[in-house]
Amino acid sequence: MESYYREDLAYIHDAGFGHFAENAALMLIKLLRQQGKNSGFIIDLGCGSGIAIAKLQESGYNCLGIDISIDAIAKLINSICTIARKS
């Protein structure tokens, strides 16, 4: 299988464009809350390193992240492990 985002592009996407994912998650949370949806299950297709998932989970939503990039998913897993160690 061809790799789309390898480690270098996964890093660039995370570090350079992560704020877009974070802002989109915050906007989605606001819209969901306005509709009375304070919890639920969200599927994030193209989740990248999971920046949006982290914000959604912090706000009480359960999430499933899917991405074509193995390296982006690896960054997501490393982030989850780091958060778990801090807890």
Question: Whole-angstrom Cα distance, residue 72 to residue 1?
Answer: 15
In the chain, what's the furthest Cα-to-Cα distance? 42
pLDDT digit string, tens, across residues 3-48: 667 888 888 888 999 999 999 999 999 999 999 999 999 999 999 9
The enclosing H or E element of 61 equals: strand 61-66
Rounded average pLDDT over 60-80: 90
pTM higher than the cut 0.85:
no
Distances (CA, A) of 58 to 11, 54, 69: 23, 6, 24
